[in-house]
Amino acid sequence: MAAPKAVSSRARTARTSKRADKWSPASTQKFMERLPSEILIKILSYLDASALFSISHVNKLFNQLANDNALWNKIYVSEFGKDKKREPKCLDDLLLEMATVGVQDRAAGYWRRLYFRTVGACDMNKWKKHLRLISRHTGLPSQTERVLRNLHTTWELTATDKSGHEIIHELSWSQFCETSVTLCWSGGGRFPSYQQISTLQLHGVRRIALNCPGLKKPGWRSLMAKLDMQTLTKSAQVIGQDRLVELKLLQPGIIIGVWRGQSSLAFVMFTLHFHRLVERSTQGSPICPYVEPIFKPPFDDIDPEYGLHGYQLHIALHDTVCEIMSGSFSHLFCQRTQICDGLIQLTAIRRTDLWQHTPLSGSITLPWRCEALQGAVENCCIMNLTLLEEYKKPFWCVSSPVSMELETTSVSYDYDGEHFLVHYQDSDGQVKMKLVLMKEQKRFFLLSLVVYVTVCKVNQHFSRDY
């Protein structure tokens, strides 16, 4: 009699197991997939944009259903048709077009894309007014960081090797300062050897604010820089090193940290100036950068020194942690007789004027961090320069790491200490700073600051012929 009881027990266990399987998540999912598409669409019609976007990542069936034009058309009209403040200007035209072209006659996903584009445009219009608040101290929009954060803007770096393989790297960390932002991507073994990298592309990425934890939210990419690494690495300038990394300046604003004794990348660092940074990060296309509108000052045929006076300079030195020095200088000028070697000289701090000499609040070092490692490269920092012309418009903007070199021939009777020179140069001009390290006070003093602008840049901007 024991055998029949055992068989009966196994039968009950099997039935119980079948009932449990019937209500398991997998069986529930299969049950949902067996429902007619009309019923599933009806169920999805009760979801908002965030939930509908999230459910599109479940599987192919739900991705197809969640992109249904009728669902997104309903969300679009319900959100933008009631609130006149957020209503896009083209809504009336869209409603008229809907009367002639059926909603479902559009290509799949049309209303989903239109919804996210409209949300993005409304958010941009909302925050655009904050960019009109100009700082008298810097001459730049004072709310740049706030606008970028509220537009959910980030940056991505795409590395392409010689075989054409692309890897998109998410931002490791960022540091906002008064007039710039420093961006860093750590290697962590994901970067190929820098000698094997063909191109590097920097994209600004703007995401839509959706409540979708764990999902990459929809957004747009704006190309900001495309670097030919094969050419740049040949002419790269070593600006400093510590016991772990060597810093190579590829071009102004871009450095790579290379592990010493190796060819692998520790990190890639960009410094971006705030001048039109919101537009450059959000309004370009994935393959084409944002084009800045050209400002043409009114022509002046009376003033013989037009374009040589009325400049205002804001300059700051900082590292990846804190600010070292910041100052503004107005009424800078250069006489025609002082133009030399194709450069216009604008002196902000004179070596002979002791009252102009400025103390620095910290040492000249550039800290870095990469995964579990960190260090600091001495005699390096980041320089942010904003030169405004007489109409208070940005004329020359620079944000770039710079290095400091010891001056062995300098003799000073005013200061007892080592003298250093910081020299920056690009196609638009040069910056020369002289500093001294006071031994007793153990701090730097800025003794001289001179900005040189090319005559070509001035002639092109002011329609002159100096």
- Whether 411 has a pLDDT exceeding 70, the answer reads no
C-alpha distances in Å from residue 272, one per residue of 18, 79, 133, 222, 382: 62, 36, 20, 14, 11
Average pLDDT, the chain: 86
pLDDT at 408 over 60: yes
Q: What is the 3-state secondary structure (H, E, C) of 32-52?
A: HHHCCHHHHHHHHCCCCHHHH
* pLDDT value of position 30: 64
pLDDT at 170 over 80: yes
User: Looking at residues 327-343, what average pLDDT do you find?
Assistant: 95
Q: Is the pLDDT of residue 297 over 80?
A: yes
SS3 364: coil
Q: How confident is the model at residue 80 (pLDDT cuts 50, 70, 90)?
A: confident
Other CB atoms closer than 10 Å to residue 306's CB: what's the count?
Answer: 19
pLDDT at 439: 78
Q: What is the pTM of this model?
A: 0.85
Q: How confident is the model at residue 189 (pLDDT cuts 50, 70, 90)?
A: low
Q: Give the whole-angstrom CA distance, residue 377 versus residue 401.
A: 11
The per-residue pLDDT for 123 is 87
- Higher-pLDDT residue of 26 and 395 is 395
Q: Please, where in the chain does CATH 1.20.1280 lie?
A: 19-126
- Percent of the chain topping pLDDT 90: 55
Bridge partners of residue 167, in order along the sequence: 159
Q: pLDDT-derived band of residue 1, with 50, 70 and 90 as boundaries?
A: very low
Please give the average per-residue pLDDT across 431-449, as a whole number: 91
| Secondary structure of residue 226 in the 3-state scheme | strand
Q: Which two tokens stand for residue 449?
A: 């600051």
Pairing mode of beta strands 180-186, 358-359: unpaired
Q: Can you spell out the DSSP letters for 192-204? A: PPTTTEEEEEEEE
Domain 19-126: CATH architecture, name and number where available: Up-down Bundle (1.20)
Measured between alpha carbons, how far is 210 from 232 in angstroms, rounded to an integer? 39
Q: Is pLDDT at 87 greater than 80 in this prediction?
A: no
| pLDDT, tens digit (0-9, with 9 covering 90-100), for 376-401 | 999 999 999 999 999 999 999 999 99
On whether the CB atoms of residues 267 and 368 are closer than 8 A, the answer is yes
CA distance 336 to 344: 9
Average pLDDT of 64-74? Answer: 89
d(CA 79, CA 85): 11
Q: Please determine, for residue 444, whether its predicted confidence score (pLDDT) is greater than 70.
A: yes
pLDDT at 11 over 90: no
- Name the DSSP letter for residue 464: -
pLDDT digits (tens, 9 = 90+) for 231-243: 998 889 999 999 9
Nearest to 313 by CA among 361, 280, 271, 345: 345
The rounded distance, in Å, linking the Cα atoms of 390 and 308 is 9
Does residue 16 register a pLDDT over 50? no
- Mean pLDDT (whole number) for 272-289: 95
Q: DSSP labels for 261-289?
A: TSSSEEEEEEEEESTTHHHHHHSS-SSSP
